[in-house]
Amino acid sequence: MTQAEIVRLVKAFAALGTWKIRLTGGEPTVRKDFIDIAAAVNEVPGVRRLVFTTNGYKLPDRAQEYYDAGLRAINISVDSLRPGQFKHITGHDRLHEVLDGVQASFEAGFESVKLNTVLLKGLNDTELDEFIDFVENKPVSLRFIELMRTGNNQKYFEEHHLPGTAVTEKLLERGWRVRPRIEGAGPAQEFEHPDSSGTIGLIAPYSKDFCKSCNRLRVSAKGALHLCLFGEGGYSLREYLQSDDQIEELQEKITSLMSFKRSAHFLHKGNSGVREHLASIGG
């Protein structure tokens, strides 16, 4: 989608009551017009919180630029706190750069800094205590994400899937407690500890009633509305994004499509829909 199409889309959603917008990917910051898009979206009436998810690419140098564009919350992928294991998992020896980016985000003034860690049996599951200790003196929210099955990762999933209960048991064992859910919160179950500056969240899509509190819709870079991350496909909105006088028609289309949103995914049955990999639509 072009910047103009994205802004029209956000205007339609904001007029329908949506106030939190996330820019994600893939890696959203590789778009040359990312800063311009963020600044334009931030100016849309009704948008109260503009968030983005990143792998930390050039974050130490660009954190202030992102903040100045209106971004106020950031999610950063950190799948290991051990340099060698980080390189093994991601293919890049960049842990130091990413952690410098975390610090740069604090210094830039971001209101919320979250770290996303995909749970991987045999790869980072022995680091649970290290991750918990890491947030003790940092005002971050570390979120463990249960590995999800997609169309092209069956073998990897079978080798490395670790149930989210492993995290819950570890946290409760160390005196953490469930935190009350706040307005606009995503799917994570949050935990807090009286002696920790940071918090820890758990996104466990295979848990009972995971979809019950779902409040997310996704629109792909090609302008398709996806009602579920693991749905059967998207509904193209491109024809309604071509001019500013289509906003009302776009709103009607979005509202009508909501009736097709399912009450739950079918991951527990081994059905991940048409999703070949999560990089195609974001988390």
Domain ranges of the chain: 1-110, 122-218
For residue 79, CA distances in Å to 88, 115, 240 come to 10, 9, 39
- Are the C-beta atoms of residues 67 and 42 closer than 8 Å to each other? no
The reported pLDDT for the residue numbered 224 is 92
The reported pLDDT for the residue numbered 31 is 94
For residue 104, CA distances in Å to 50, 99, 101, 139 come to 18, 9, 5, 13
- Are the C-beta atoms of residues 167 and 107 closer than 8 Å to each other? no
The reported pLDDT for the residue numbered 200 is 96
- For 17, the token pair is 């009551």
Question: What's the pLDDT tens digit per position in 187-223?
Answer: 788 999 999 999 999 988 766 555 566 778 899 999 9
**CA gap 156, 8 in Å, rounded:** 39
Which range (1-15, 74-88, 134-148, 175-189) has the least confidence? 175-189
The reported pLDDT for the residue numbered 188 is 80
The reported pLDDT for the residue numbered 277 is 53
**Interval 165-182 mean pLDDT:** 92
**HSE-CB of 30 using CA atoms within 13 angstroms:** 7
**CA gap 112, 223 in Å, rounded:** 28
Residue 138 has pLDDT above 80, yes or no: yes
Question: What's the pLDDT tens digit per position in 244-274?
Answer: 999 999 999 999 998 877 655 444 545 444 5
**Interval 88-102 mean pLDDT:** 96
Mean pLDDT (the chain) is: 89
The reported pLDDT for the residue numbered 212 is 65
Residue for token pair 């289309």: 253
Backbone angles phi and psi of 55, in degrees to 5: -90, 5
Q: What is the pTM of this model?
A: 0.88
- Are the C-beta atoms of residues 77 and 44 closer than 8 Å to each other? no
Look at residues 212, 114, 210, 215 and name the one whose alpha carbon lies nearest to residue 164. 210
For residue 69, what pLDDT band results from cuts at 50, 70 and 90?
very high
Residue 98: alpha-carbon gap to chain centroid: 17
Identity of the highest mean pLDDT range in 145-149, 153-157, 234-238? 234-238
Backbone angles phi and psi of 255, in degrees to 5: -60, -40
DSSP one-letter string for 173-212: HTT-EEPPP-TT--SPEEEE-TT-SSEEEEE-TTSTTGGG
Q: H helices of 34-153, where?
A: 34-42, 59-68, 83-90, 95-108, 128-134
Dihedral-angle region of residue 135 (phi above 0 means left; psi in -120 to 50 means alpha; beta otherwise): alpha
